[in-house]
Amino acid sequence: MSDTTNDAVEQGIAAELETDSSPGEPEVSFSERYSDILSKVNATLDKVDWSQMGRIGKATGVIVAVIVAQILIKGVLDTINLLPVVPGLLELLGLVVVGQWSWHNLTTSEKRGAVVDKVQNLRKEYLG
């Protein structure tokens, strides 16, 4: 039974091969196919209006730069977190900086009013 099945499969493959390549056609080499595809790509790219691509290119460049920067920052922070003492020291440094800023800017009512005025001016400037 397997001989009959194998013969049928071989005949089907042979028939497919015969229909794919006709006897009058020469075989097309890889370099000819490659040059044909490359010429089609170049023709398509010639149709593009490249004057409009400046805006899109800049936006794409900014997005790519932000993604790369985020990956680098994440790598640095992950490396810092692997060190046993550094994350605790950075938290302590943050508390010291916030405490020092609060002491200089929030101890008297005049300083607190100046901070509120500064925040309101920034809000008006950026939000309108």
For 3, residues 6+ apart whose C-beta sits below 8 A from its C-beta are none
pLDDT in the model for residue 23: 53
95 backbone dihedrals φ, ψ, rounded to 5°:
-65, -40
> Model's pTM, two decimal places?
0.41
pLDDT in the model for residue 11: 53
Question: What are 41-100's pLDDT values in tens digits?
Answer: 888 888 877 777 777 888 888 899 999 999 999 998 888 888 888 889 989 999 999 999
* Cα 53 to chain centroid, rounded: 18
